[in-house]
Structure 1
Amino acid sequence: MESEASNCSFTTHVPSGLTFKTFSLISYIPLFIFGIICNVLALWIFCCKKKEWTVTTLFMRNLMIADILVVLTFPFRLYVFLHKWNLGTELCKALMSLYFVNMYMSIFTITAIAFDRYLAIRHPLKYKSWISLRKASITCCIFWIICITICILRNLEDIEYEFTTCFQDSTRPFFLSPVFVIVGFLLPLLTISFCSGKVIMTLRVRTRMDTYKQCSVEKAVKLVIANLVSFIICFLPIHIGYTIRFVAESLRISCNILENINEFIHVENLIANLNCVLDSVIYYFAASEFQDILFKQFTLSKCRSSCVP
């Protein structure tokens, strides 16, 4: 006998209360406005003001583009909360793919930036021989291919499903959900945490060794911590929600429980989308601060190595 969960409709799972709609409007409208303004401004700075192509600017441009594409889906999310979805299944699938591809593209790029920063701060003399613009470009291409492939597989799962509302998955457990959580969040989180910890330790040591650079180093440490905290706050809750929903759908739990889980995911989506605004602000200042420190460190290390008999 088919379970109640397998017959849950999309409308059953979409939060429909007036309070939630008001909360969504209050959240998504400023997120869309500030997300567009901050990311376009940051992209303009990295493209027009900093015209040279470096590994750092390449990753920054890639991150800003991914965040802008995520922000462009926000008006359609607002439409879903205000109207019944009548724009077609294909458009819905395209928008959901655009959202998920670029959300995970943003996560992977943030991870790459953290790893690049780790190599630059911990191994400044070997950095230029290890990392190149070509390698960074190939890395970004691989990230795009992985994200797009996973989303194609996701759409194939629901190829015969008719969407009565958008930005809501089917009630059948998606077999790649654990991959999204492990590869798309846990591994990046571990990488960012490791790299951030090592960078902070290194910068703290340099602060004790050179009090003249103490102010700039302290700013850099705070930015590293801000990056890590922002990543955890924005992406941890939503992936907890994905995990709980996958387990609930696999166990064929009732529609009422799935509805509560889905309401939690909708709220956490709002928090995850806040990352699109925070990225442009935090990473703009981080890029300037770390480029300054890296330049000083590289110059100092080169000088010391040349002075060693």
Structure 2
Amino acid sequence: MTNSTNCSNIIKLSYNVQLIQVIIYATIFPFGAIFNVLALWVFCCKLKKWTETRVYMINLVIADCSVVCTLPFTVYFLWNDWNRDTLCLTIQSIYLINMSMSSYIITVISVDRYIAIKYPLKAKSLRSPWKAGLICGLLWVSTITGLNIKQKRNEPLCFQKLSTKPETSVLYFLIFIVLIPLIIVSFCSMHVIRSLKKKMITNSNKNKLIEKAIYIVSANMIVFIVCFLPAHIGMLARFVVEKNFFSCLAIQKIRTFISVTTCIANSNCCMDAICYYFVAKEFQEASSFHNPNSHHPETKQTPPLSVEDSRNAGIKMLQHQSQK
């Protein structure tokens, strides 16, 4: 395709865009590395009880740590127009797999939270640490297997798409990695918020606790949308432009947009780290609130006596599930 060849030099990133990438990644890397290592230490070593939240959060921290570790390589590859060799493919695979896992785990936590609040009686049978571990294991296996197919793309440079040939695989990537998780996260979050607001009307003495839960859910949903959506809208726009081949200039502008918004998506690792603090804080408060002979709300074996008691327990569980 002649257009593809003619565009290869035009759609390359400008020096200013590359410089912006370097500055942003140089900021994300140290903060992301420090906060994620600390978070991993807290969730693996400091917490005493294994809960669904702890299992999900450890997997989320591992995914974020892996993404952070790829950032220096990504900057170096982009700055030096690195060829797609074995090292490039390895780093690219680690990056794609763990970014996808981050999206999936956030989605699973949203569903877990939805079940805890909307169906508190069923939650005791549907939720458990070993089930959370099984879900995460299946997600890792399916993500690693599925995204290996994407690495077959024939591009000369690492982390760069210079051809203008549209790839149908991009649509599958957008649907399964972004669109479906976005719909699920939004649906679960909105229903949880609605349920909690109704709870505020009937239980004024618990309003402070409920307001905090609403804030957590709202913040998590907004961060997910802000971090993941823009870059993938850019990818969809590029697919449409390439499919109809408007012009090299249009593709170049979209590629610049994707490059900048991808930096925003990668800043998600630091956003998670901020949430880790609140999760750990909630666990500490929960431990000090209950007396030594009482059980944690998430690990009680005796089911709640009523739907009302169950919903109260669900709100407490929600306090321990602040992720993104």
Matched, 1:192 2:185: yes
**SS across alignment from 1:169:** coil
Matched, 1:4 2:6: no
2:156 maps to a residue whose letter is E
Matched, 1:239 2:232: yes
Offset at residue 204 of structure 1 (A): 1.6
**SS across alignment from 2:50:** coil
**SS across alignment from 1:73:** helix
In 2, Cα distance between equivalents of 1:275 and 1:268? 11
Offset at residue 193 of structure 1 (A): 0.9
Q: Alpha carbons of 1:228 and 1:180: their partners in 2 closer, same or farther (altered >3 Å)?
A: same
In 2, Cα distance between equivalents of 1:305 and 1:252? 58
Question: Is the 1:16–1:81 contact (alpha carbons within 8 Å) kept by the matching residues of 2?
Answer: no
Q: Alpha carbons of 1:176 and 1:220: their partners in 2 closer, same or farther (altered >3 Å)?
A: same
- Among 97, 119, 122, the residue aligned to 1:123: 119
Deviations 1:246-283 (A, max 9, x none): 22223344333222111111001011111111112225
Q: Equivalent residue for 1:65?
A: 62
- Among 171, 195, 199, the residue aligned to 1:202: 195
1:22-61 equivalence runs, <5 A: 22-61=19-58
Offset at residue 295 of structure 1 (A): 3.1
In 2, Cα distance between equivalents of 1:260 and 1:226? 31
Offset at residue 289 of structure 1 (A): 4.6
In 2, Cα distance between equivalents of 1:141 and 1:300? 28
**SS across alignment from 2:148:** helix
In 2, Cα distance between equivalents of 1:50 and 1:63? 16
Q: Equivalent residue for 2:292?
A: none
Question: Is the 1:5–1:249 contact (alpha carbons within 8 Å) kept by the matching residues of 2?
Answer: no
Q: Equivalent residue for 2:270?
A: 277
Question: Is the 1:66–1:102 contact (alpha carbons within 8 Å) kept by the matching residues of 2?
Answer: yes
Q: Equivalent residue for 1:227?
A: 220
Q: Alpha carbons of 1:6 and 1:153: their partners in 2 closer, same or farther (altered >3 Å)?
A: farther
TM-score (normalised: structure 1)? 0.86
Q: Equivalent residue for 2:161?
A: 169
Unaligned runs of 5+ in 2: 290-295, 310-324
Offset at residue 234 of structure 1 (A): 0.7
- Among 241, 256, 260, the residue aligned to 1:263: 256
Q: Equivalent residue for 2:11?
A: 13
Deviations 1:141-168 (A, max 9, x none): 222223222321111232xx432xx211
Q: Alpha carbons of 1:260 and 1:252: their partners in 2 closer, same or farther (altered >3 Å)?
A: same
Identical residues among aligned pairs (%): 40
Question: Is the 1:101–1:147 contact (alpha carbons within 8 Å) kept by the matching residues of 2?
Answer: yes
2:30 maps to a residue whose letter is I
Unaligned runs of 5+ in 1: none
Q: Alpha carbons of 1:84 and 1:45: their partners in 2 closer, same or farther (altered >3 Å)?
A: same
TM-score (normalised: structure 2)? 0.83
Question: Is the 1:234–1:275 contact (alpha carbons within 8 Å) kept by the matching residues of 2?
Answer: yes
In 1, Cα distance between equivalents of 2:137 and 2:183? 22
2:11 maps to a residue whose letter is H
1:109 maps to a residue whose letter is I
In 1, Cα distance between equivalents of 2:125 and 2:199? 23
- Equivalences, count: 298
Deviations 1:282-301 (A, max 9, x none): 254257559959939x8998
Q: Equivalent residue for 1:302?
A: 304
Q: Alpha carbons of 1:184 and 1:217: their partners in 2 closer, same or farther (altered >3 Å)?
A: same
Deviations 1:24-49 (A, max 9, x none): 23211110111111111111111111
Q: Alpha carbons of 1:179 and 1:287: their partners in 2 closer, same or farther (altered >3 Å)?
A: farther
**SS across alignment from 1:15:** coil
In 2, Cα distance between equivalents of 1:51 and 1:14? 51
**SS across alignment from 1:302:** coil
Q: Alpha carbons of 1:306 and 1:148: their partners in 2 closer, same or farther (altered >3 Å)?
A: closer
